[in-house]
Structures are given as structure tokens and as C-alpha cells.
Amino acid sequence: MRWQRWVRIVMVLLAAATLIGIFFSVRKPKRKNADALVQREDPQAMIETKTGRVSQATGLKVPGFIDFDRMLTYQDGTLKFSKFKLTTDRSGRKFNISADEGVIGKDQSHMEARGHVVLENDEGLHVTTDEATYSSGEEVVRAPRKVNFTKGNMSGSGVGMTYDRKRDVLWLLDQAVINVAADKKTDDPGAKIIAGAFGYARRDNYMRFERTMSVVRGDRTISADTAMAYLTEDGKAIKSLELRGNSRIGMAQPAEGGLQAMGSRDMNINFADDGETIQHAVLAGGSAIQMAGAQGKPGRRISGEIVDVTLGEDSAVTGLLARQHVQLTIPPDGTNPERTIQSEVMEGKGEAGKGLTGATFRHHVEFREARQPNPRLAHASILTAVLTPDGGLDDARFGGGTHFVDGTTTASAADARYLVTKGHLELSGKIGPLPPQVQDERITVVATNIDLTFDGPKMLASGDVQSVMKPSKQPGPATPAGRTGQAGPTGQPGPASRTGAPQKAAAPAKSAKPEPKTPGMLKDDQPAYVTANALNYDGDADKAIYTGSSRLWQGDTAVSADTITIDEKTGDLFANRNVRSTQVMQQADEQSKDPKKVPTIATAEDMHYEDALHRNTYTINAHMIGQTGDLRASKIELYLAEDGGTLERAEAYDQVNLKTDIRTSTGDRLTYFAADDRYFMRGKPVTVIENCKQSTGKTCTFWRTTDRILMDGEDRSRTLATNTTNTCVPGAAPVPGSAPTPTTSPGVTTSPPK
């Protein structure tokens, strides 16, 4: 049909027109001065692009997009950028890298950046360096040269860096220096950290320091071989710090009694909410804590294998537990020597503002005072100590078996209380069957309770007191009668008292005390024993006073009384109230003239032995039976030879009454001469009764074993001998009221009056 033919013609014309248009549109135009339009940077680049953005939509394997001033594309797929910035965003976390130059490798998984490299994330991390690489597979940025960074109030630098984008972890690989800015609002002093390497994991809230680290924060310095710091959720403060290897904390300006330094192999520290105040620390391996003393002086030091310490806001120790090889050291102060306490366990408690106020030590406790010339030592199973705010030690209580050594003195008991500042020791409790005891080279004292003051020394003992004074010529162990002695702790013995109390340690010769004097009535080659209810010894006065059923004995010599006092300065001995003494005297035999032992028993209210005069005096109702016969008087004096065992003469005063084997004599004064058994008596009058005969006179001299009598009369009268009319027993006194009959007695010699 005609219309169909026209349609075909129009379509052909349209097709031809289309082909002509396409031909002219695709025909390469003739370029004029092409090089003048685009200045090529690298002729080998396949494509050069100015100012643009490359995004992941183009097939780039590096996530995100890159903004650039110029990009060169090479045939192998390598991309080079100038003034570029890589922006990535994964899981809502943005990350940027910018630099003067950048290269993305042919596989588009590795990037290199050079010149003014800047790394940033949306949490405030800003890192600058000269060169860096980025791996899209690992998502790790690496920088081999010096790096600077800032993050909030923290900034730092180092040589070499890695940044793990996935984990948000930054590492400074060498020569790391980190500064934390001060905050005036919170009084945060800021800090400076130096480490061989530094790692910061913001997402996991920790920082790690390696190859030695040092943190200076205000007046505090923390150092260790390696460290791990755990941060709060907001990353603004440190919750805890783990130090490993050569761990140290030091305070430049500690508060009095507060923490000055801590050190150990490893250390775990917990901080308060401010991230600065140490609340708790656990030290392990050669641990030590140093406290600050008063007025800048050294304070207490605590060491052990493991130390667990709790601190107050002022860094004062409020709680402490130390284990294994524990030692508390209290430094010397003025006249106070250094003191140390060693044990296996120490538990301490304290208060803010005061520090440690008390501590308990357990297992193998040793207490030591570094006194000169000999230290004072104590051993026990347990020790509870009261500590003073100024860093001293006030009260120490020992338990579980206690042994003390102080130069020449040792002491032992189940329990002991040592008042340190007073130098006073209180002993109580039995160790098995043995009560408290104090001993040295020459003396042992045991009692239910013993209070010993080392300065002096002075001692109070009470309850079944028993003591032994060892022989000075043959020193050796000795024990109270009826008891088994117990040796004290090891130590070198020295000179000692013979009175039941220890002696002070030896002093320089120019100030040494004289040797204590032993009463001459006791022998130096035999032990002597004393028992009583109580003992009071005063070393300054050199006196020992035994009270309550007191008894002193040595061999055949014994003295008993309510009170016995021994004076070491003079060698005197006193006995008071209900005195009874027994002493064996040397006396020549009547027939053979060989020496024999004669017991002498005396009673009185008081007795006083004077060593300088070798005189033993009995007063008030004195009564003596022995070498002199049966003698009674108000006062009797015995003068002994220097050996103390031989009677030279005796004196009796007032109301003298003497009975011998053959006669009875009364008078006002009697003198007995032991050398020839001679008696001289004076009185108003002197009366002598012998074989039922009585003689009287002003003075009388007679001999014990003979019937010879020399008597002087009064007013130049001759002596009279009378015989009673009553029946009498020879040698007995006449019956009172009998009428004497004058006679001349055989053996009585008259002499003119003097």
C-alpha cells in the first residue's frame, strides 16, 4: 500500500541521519596544544586526576573513601595521591589518615603515607608522624619514625608506632614519653610517664608499659620493668595498676606516719575514684614498705615476701598483712636504739592520720634492740605490739613461750609484757611445769610473776620465789631446790649478782660498777639458795629484799625470817622479824684440839650481818645455842673470822643469861673469847650458879670446860659463894625465895675489886 511505502522511506532516512550523527559525534577531533591543557606529573601513569574522591563504590579494597588533590593511576592498579585523606567508618567508628603523599598498592589492600602524616579517630585520638603504612586486611597503621599523639588530657611521643583500628589500640614502640595534663578543677597534678614501649587500648580501657617505666605524678614516682594500668569506663582515671619486675613507689613529700616508699618484685595497686589516691596494694617478692617519720626523720619499715597493705586518704597505713620472712624495723631516735621484730606473719591495723597503731606477729618471733655493747633479744611464738603515732614502739606482749636475753641476763616465761619505753619486762605463766625465771651466769630466780626493769636493773618477783646464787669460784648451772632448771635462750653470760637479781651489762672500765659483795657468812665455792613469797631487787641501790617466809641457806648455813635483805655494796645481810639462823662454826676439839664443826642456832626479832666488821648481830629477844652455850640477851653480837665460818668472839648485851654444861650465868654484858673458850661478864650484879651454888659479883671471868672462875666484888668486898637450903639439880638455878647460906666454893678465886 502507498502509506506503508512512505513509512519505509522515512525510517530509512532516520537511520541514515542517525548514522551520520554517530559518525560525527565519535570522530576524534583534532587537538591543538594538548600538553598545554594537562600538565602530566608522571608520564608512566595511565590516568592523572586532579581534586577528587575515590570511594569503595569504584572497587577500592581500602574501606571508606579518599579525598585528594591529585591522583595517579598506573596500569598495575597502583594509586598515588597528593594531599590525601582516607576516611573509614566501620561499626559507627570513624578513622582518618591524611598525609602529603600516599600510595595504594596494586592489590589495593596496602597504603603508604608520607609527609605530615596525621591519624585521627572520632574519640579524640590525634597522631602525627612523617611516615606510616596501613593494611586494610589487618586494619593496622604502622609508623617507623618518631610519633606524637594527643588524646584528651594526654599527650606523648615515641619512636615507632602501631595503631590497631579494629581493637582501637595504640602502641609507641620505643622511647615512649606520655604527659597527662594537670587539672586545676580536680587538683589533679598531672603526670609524666617514660617507658621503653607504651600501649593504649581505649576500647578495652587499659594502658601497658614495657622495657622499664617511670611515672611521676605530683610528689609520687612509680617505676617497674613492665606495668599494666586499667582505666575507668570513661578512660579518664586509673582504677588499678599492675607492676612487674623491680616495682617501686616513692613519695617526695610524705605526710608524717604516711607512706614514703614501697618496693617489691611485683605489685598490684588499687586507686580511689580520683585515680590518684592509693587505697590498696599487694606486694610480692622481696617486698618492703617505708613509712615517713616525724619531722623528716626515717620512719618504720616493714618487709616480707608478700605484703598486703591498705592506705587511708593521707597515705597512712590502716591495714596490713605480711607473710614470709617478715621484719618490722623501727629506726633509732635519740636515746632509743633501733628495734626490729621478725616473724613469719604480721597483721597490722591503724587509723587515718595516725598510721599503724598496733601489730600482731606470729610464728618464730624475734624481737631485737640494738643496744650496746650487747643487743637485747626476745623470742616467742606470738607478739602483739602497740605502736605510737611518732613511729615508735610502746608496748610489746609476748606469748606462747618467751625467752629474753639482755647481755648477762636471760628471762623466760610463757607470757611476757615488755613496756619498751620504760625498759620494763613483766613475766608470767608456766612453760610446761616451769614458772617464769630470770638468770645469768651466777643467779637464777623463779617465781609465779617476775617484773624486771633492765635499767638498774630492778626486779619484783612474787609467788613462790626461789633463787639460787651460783658459786663464783666454780661457775656452773644451778637450780632452786626441788626444781629443775631451764636454760634461757642462747647468749654469752657475764658477771652477775649473788642476791637473786641480774646485773647490768658490762660498761667501759672507767664507769664500771664494783663487783657485788657476798656476805662473808656464805662461801663463794658453793651455791646458795633463797626462797620467799616476794623479792624486790634495786640495782641502783644494790639491794635485794626477800619478804614473806624468807629463807636463805647454803650447806649447813641457813637464815629464815619474815624479811631478808642483802646489800651488794657492803656485803651486809639483814633479817627482820621471826629470825632464825643456823650456822656451823669451826671449833677446836676439847681433847684433841683438832678443828670440829659446831652448829650454832640463833633466834631473834632482827639480825644484821656486817661484812666490813664480820659481825653478826641479833637484837630483841636474842637467843643462841652453840659454841658459846645457851645464851639469851637483848642483843647478841658474833664476830667471825674472815672466812665467815669461825667464831672469834661473841658479845651479849642487857638481860644476859648464859647456860653452859656446868653453870648458869646472868648479867648485863657478856664477852666470849673463842680462842680459849673464855667468858667475861659484867653486871649489877653478875650471878653464876654452878652445882647448886651461886656466886655474885661485879665482873666475872670463867672458862667453858673448867670450873675455874675469877670474880670481882663490889665496894672491895670479897665474892660470896652461897648454897641453897632447897634441893637442887647440879647446874640448875636456885629455887626462887630460898635463903642462901654463905660458904666458900672450891675453884672460886677471890680478888680485890677494880
**Helix or strand (DSSP H, E) at 13:** helix 2-26
Residue 644 backbone zone (phi > 0: left; psi -120 to 50: alpha; other: beta): left
Dump pLDDT digits (tens) for 385-410: 998 877 788 899 999 999 999 988 89
* 493 pLDDT tier (thresholds 50, 70, 90): very low
Average pLDDT over residues 674-702: 88
Return the higher-pLDDT residue of 347 and 472.
347
Average pLDDT over residues 244-267: 90
Pairing of strands 355-369, 93-104: unpaired
pLDDT of residue 391: 79
User: What is the distance between the alpha carbons of residues 751 and 564, in angstroms, rounded to a whole number?
Assistant: 47
Dump pLDDT digits (tens) for 655-681: 999 998 888 999 999 999 988 889 999
Q: Distances in Å between the alpha carbon of 667 and those of 299, 629, 662, 709, 714?
A: 77, 15, 17, 15, 14
User: What is the distance between the alpha carbons of residues 111 and 61, in angstroms, rounded to a whole number?
Assistant: 11
Residue 643 confidence (pLDDT) above 80:
no
User: What is the distance between the alpha carbons of residues 227 and 208, in angstroms, rounded to a whole number?
Assistant: 6
pLDDT of residue 560: 95
Residue 366 confidence (pLDDT) above 60:
yes
Cell readout for 569 is: 655494796
pLDDT of residue 450: 95
Dump pLDDT digits (tens) for 453-492: 888 788 999 999 999 888 765 444 444 333 333 333 333 3
User: What is the distance between the alpha carbons of residues 383 and 571, in angstroms, rounded to a whole number?
Assistant: 40
Is 368 in contact with 376 (CB distance < 8 Å)? yes
Identify the CATH class of 528-751. Answer: mainly beta
Bond from prior residue into 685 cis (ω within 30 degrees of 0): yes
Domain ranges of the chain: 42-137, 401-525, 528-751
Dump pLDDT digits (tens) for 512-561: 566 777 787 888 788 889 999 999 988 888 889 999 999 999 888 899 99
Collapsed DSSP state (helix, strand, coil) of residue 738: coil
Return the higher-pLDDT residue of 508 and 351.
351
Average pLDDT over residues 73-93: 82
Average pLDDT over residues 295-324: 90
Residue 320 confidence (pLDDT) above 70:
yes
User: What is the distance between the alpha carbons of residues 118 and 141, in angstroms, rounded to a whole number?
Assistant: 11
Average pLDDT over residues 726-754: 41
pLDDT of residue 56: 59
User: What is the distance between the alpha carbons of residues 647 and 639, in angstroms, rounded to a whole number?
Assistant: 6
pLDDT of residue 508: 44
* 88 pLDDT tier (thresholds 50, 70, 90): confident
Collapsed DSSP state (helix, strand, coil) of residue 56: helix
Cell readout for 653 is: 648485851
Cβ-Cβ contacts under 8 Å for 468 (sequence gap 6 or more): 443, 444, 478, 479, 480, 481, 485, 527, 528, 529, 530
Dump pLDDT digits (tens) for 185-239: 666 678 899 999 999 898 899 999 999 999 998 888 999 999 999 998 887 788 9
* 379 pLDDT tier (thresholds 50, 70, 90): very high
What is the CATH architecture of 42-137? Sandwich (2.60)
Is 557 in contact with 526 (CB distance < 8 Å)? no
pLDDT of residue 13: 52
- For CA atoms 624, 629, 633, 635, the dihedral sign is negative
Q: Distances in Å between the alpha carbon of 525 and those of 476, 559, 643, 647?
A: 11, 19, 12, 20
Q: Where are the alpha helices (DSSP H) in 74-202?
A: none
Mean pLDDT (the chain) is: 81
Q: Exposed, middle or buried by CB within 10 Å (0-12, 13-18, 19+), for 91?
A: exposed
* 16 pLDDT tier (thresholds 50, 70, 90): low
Beta-ladder partners of 627: none
Dump pLDDT digits (tens) for 153-198: 889 999 999 988 788 888 999 999 999 888 776 666 788 999 999 9
pLDDT of residue 498: 44
* 510 pLDDT tier (thresholds 50, 70, 90): very low
Cell readout for 491 is: 647468749
Residue 330 confidence (pLDDT) above 60:
yes
pLDDT of residue 578: 95
* 5 pLDDT tier (thresholds 50, 70, 90): low
pLDDT of residue 248: 95
Beta-ladder partners of 448: none
Answer whether 42-137 and 528-751 agree in fold.
yes
Model pTM?
A: 0.75
Residue 244 confidence (pLDDT) above 70:
yes
Residue 381 confidence (pLDDT) above 60:
yes
pLDDT of residue 487: 35
Cβ-Cβ contacts under 8 Å for 731 (sequence gap 6 or more): 661, 662, 663, 664, 689, 690, 691
Percent of the chain surpassing pLDDT 90: 42
Cell readout for 43 is: 608520564
Residue 92 confidence (pLDDT) above 90:
no
Collapsed DSSP state (helix, strand, coil) of residue 17: helix
Closest listed residue to residue 431, CA positions, set 451, 412, 459, 410:
412
Return the higher-pLDDT residue of 17 and 102.
102
pLDDT of residue 595: 75
Residue 719 confidence (pLDDT) above 70:
no
pLDDT of residue 17: 55
Place of cell 644494790: 542
* 45 pLDDT tier (thresholds 50, 70, 90): confident
